[in-house]
Chains A and B, each alone.
Chain A
Amino acid sequence: MCTTCGCSKGAGTVITDPETGERIETPAEGRNGGAREPGSWRQLATGPEGASVAAHLHARGHRHAHEAHVHEHDGHGHMHEHDGHVHSHEHVHEHHHAQTPAAFDHSPVSIAEVAIAAATHSTTIALEQDVLAKNQLLAEHNRGWLASRHITALNLVSSPGAGKTTLLERTIRDLQDLHSAQTIQVIEGDQATLNDAERIRATGCRVVQINTGTGCHLDAGMVSRALAQLDPPAQSWLMIENVGNLVCPALFDLGEQAKVVILSVTEGEDKPLKYPHMFRASRLMLLNKIDLLPHLRFDVERCIAYARQVNPSIEVLQVSAETGAGMKAWYAWLEAAALEEVGETVR
């Protein structure tokens, strides 16, 4: 499987509610993708005058014949299109037209014959299908559900160790003091362990943990299942702490209002240039651990310039989740995002 990060479809996702200990396991995805076995026939579309377009689906090494040919054949090949399915037929004259499906001749044929049949009978189907469309659809579903409850959802992304969990712990504790009305709920994403969920739970905050197994990012389907488990109240903040990874999470919309990328000053100041997709996809960059700046050679201005080079509209706040420096500006940003969420829904 993937030798870079261990991504695999072999392992399922587990969602754990640390409060109740309830575990919801999602089995690994099916190998066949719901496809049927070759060797069957299926009517793809019905054309005008009730003419059916038959797709010939046959297993390797079998002769095949057509039950009902509705195409006009002149023996020289033709192309026609039905509902986006383009068929190209170059009928060879040895082709056998049987009267009923029972008349199918299933005698084995040589590979060469199959190759000829394949070359002359293949059907090209125009798909123009966005590969991430399924995730996008689920993400929009999540977004609609969250909007209906005026929930401000943020997708927190960073490399491992940038301080996402520490930032969340402090944010939850400070906002509990400042703001008892609006609560924070958390979805934690990690490959393994409940460690982060336990840390969040210790603050008194409601949390569910998604363990992606070997997966390197959260996707909208995982978040949808976690939302069903978490059931966050209306007008709360939902913090989704993604798997620590500056690459893959940039591509997978979860239904959040915005991505917030956390970069700690103990990392390289050129991270925005090295991982431009993530910084381009984020609305806010939190530059964390600024209390350590006196001990480091980290050029804050240069780092911000790099971030704006890949995303001219990115907002930047400098914070220390450890000392609390700069955190007030982050809370103000959260308040503004919540107002925007309500505003969007009212409009």
Chain B
Amino acid sequence: MHELSIANSVVELCAERAMGARVLRVTLEIGRLSAVMPDAIRFCFDVCAKDTVVEGAALEIVETPGLARCLDCGGSVDMIDLLEHCACGSVNLELLAGSELKIKQMEVV
């Protein structure tokens, strides 16, 4: 349950970059393989935002799917979780996408 400290970092980063403006909306990108639960972030976000310029901001979460390249056959593998394997049977996979944990943008006023 690291989502609380992550939600806290999100609020801090947004408050810092807002330079005093009120934040209306925050858009986060969370990869499916990032080990971060969007629901837990939502749960913590409002608590962390309280008494900051981020208080009351809408939180939008864009979940990005996991994608890997098989290092044995070169095929691409859709990663639902880290336990996926390639159609060729290999688990020797290089993650290409899905571990993102980023603040994409925010809307301030």
On A, residues with C-beta under 8 Å from B are 1-2, 4-5, 7-9, 29, 31-40, 42, 44, 55-60, 117-118, 121-132, 134-135, 215-217, 219, 247-248, 250-252, 273, 276-277, 280, 308-310, 312
Contacts and interface: CB of A to CB of B under 8 A. Distances in A.
B82 A129 contact: no
Interface string B1-18: 111111011111111111
B101 A250 contact: no
> Size class of B's contact patch?
35 or more
A118 B17 contact: no
Given A4-B1, A31-B52, A35-B16, A57 B91 contact: no
B104 A7 contact: no
A255 B36 CA distance: 21
A312 B3 CA distance: 28
A38 B18 CA distance: 10
Nearest to A273: B83
List 9 tightest A-B contacts by C-beta distance, closest first: A35-B15, A33-B15, A36-B20, A33-B12, A248-B2, A276-B82, A4-B1, A7-B4, A57-B21
Contacts of A7: 1-2, 4-5
B48 interface: yes
A9 to B, nearest CB: 5
Contact of A55 (B15, B21, B83): B21
B109 A1 contact: no
Given A7-B1, A8-B4, A32-B51, A44 B19 contact: yes
Interface in B8-39: 8-22, 24-25, 28, 35-36
Nearest to A130: B102
A49 B4 CA distance: 45
B107 A122 contact: yes
Given A126-B105, A247-B35, A37 B20 contact: yes
A131 B10 contact: yes
Nearest to A124: B107
